[in-house]
Amino acid sequence: MADHPRVLEPAPGVLAFYEGRVEGQRFDPKPNWVDEGALELGIAGYAILDGDEALVYDTGVSVDYARFVRAELSRRGASRFTVVLSHWHLDHVAGTEVFADSPIISSARTAEHLRAKQAAIEAGELEGPPAISPLILPTRTFVGRESLRVGGTTIELIAANIHSDDATVLWLPARRLLLCGDTMEDTVTYVDEPDQFDAHLRDLERLAELSRTASSPPTATPTRSPPVATRRA
C-alpha cells in the first residue's frame, strides 16, 4: 500500500484506521478487489484501547494494513489483543494473520462462511486477486449476544443479519457507542444480500432499539463496503 491508513479518534480510546479515496493511489495497477471493492469507496477498521488491552474490530484489506494497526496500538501501550470480525467479507478479514497469536472472535455464521470459502480465498479465486493466504479462521465463535471485557471496558457483541447474514456489531453500553461494520454506511446500509431484506429491516429496528432504551442516542460510526456488483462470489 502506498500510504498508511489515516488514524482518527472518533471517541476517547476508540481509534479508526481509514484508508481509500486517495486520488491516483492504487493497491495494484491490475484489477483487484482491494481497489475496486474497498479503497475506491473508503473503508475503516476500528480499535478500542483500554490500558494494555486492545480490541481490534476487523483486520482490514491487507496484511500490511493490519501490521500498521498492530504497531500503532502497540505504540499506544497495547500488548494484549482480541480481534472481533464484523463479517466475512474479504476487505474486513485480510489481515488476520498479523493477530494469529491472539483470540479471533466472530459470529458462528462468519466462521461457517470463512471455512466454506477458505480454499477459494487462499487461492485468490473467490473474488479474484489478491489471495489471502493463509486465511486465519476465528478461534472462538458466539451466537446471539455475548459480553466481553477489554481493560475496564464492557463491550457487547451482537449478531445481526444486516448487509450480510453473519454481521457482528459492537455495543458499548456505558459509552452509548455502536461500532457497526458494514451494517450501516453513509447514508444508508448497503444491501449486499437483497433476498434477506426483510431480515435486514428487522435487525436495523433491533439496533435502533438500543438507543431507545437509554437517555441519549448512540454514535454510529460507519464503515463502507464495496458495491454489490464487485462483491458477490
Instruction: Return the number of the residue (70 or 163) whose C-beta is nearest Zn ion.
Output: 163
Considering the complex, state which of residue 33 and residue 142 has its C-beta at the smaller distance from Zn ion. Answer: 33
Find the shortest distance in angstroms from Cβ 208 to Zn ion: 20
The terminus-to-terminus CA distance of the chain in angstroms comes to 24
Longest dimension (CA), the chain: 50
- In the beta sheet, which residues pair with residue 157? 146, 170
In the complex, the residues that contact Zn ion under the rule CB under 5 A are 89, 182, 225
Closest CB to Zn ion among residues 23, 195: 195
Calculate the CA 206 to chain-centre distance.
Answer: 20
- Show the cell assigned to 232: 458477490
Minimum distance from residue 157 beta carbon to Zn ion (Å): 17
Contacts of 67 (CB under 8 A, 6+ apart): 95, 98
Q: Tell me the C-alpha distance between 172 and 155, whole Å.
A: 5
> Least CB distance from residue 164 to Zn ion, whole Å?
6
Strand partners for 183: none
Which is closer to Zn ion, CB of 49 or CB of 158?
158
Q: Measured from the CB atom, is 165 or 182 closer to Zn ion?
A: 182
Q: Residue 171 CB, nearest distance to Zn ion (Å)? A: 19
Per-residue CA distances from 172 to 113, 114, 125, 155, 220 (Å): 26, 27, 37, 5, 11
Between CA 106 and CA 142 the distance in angstroms is 7
| Min separation Cβ 90 and Zn ion, Å | 9
Task: State the minimum distance, in angstroms, from the CB of residue 226 to Zn ion.
Answer: 7
* Separation in Å, CA 138 to CA 38, 96, 97: 22, 9, 11
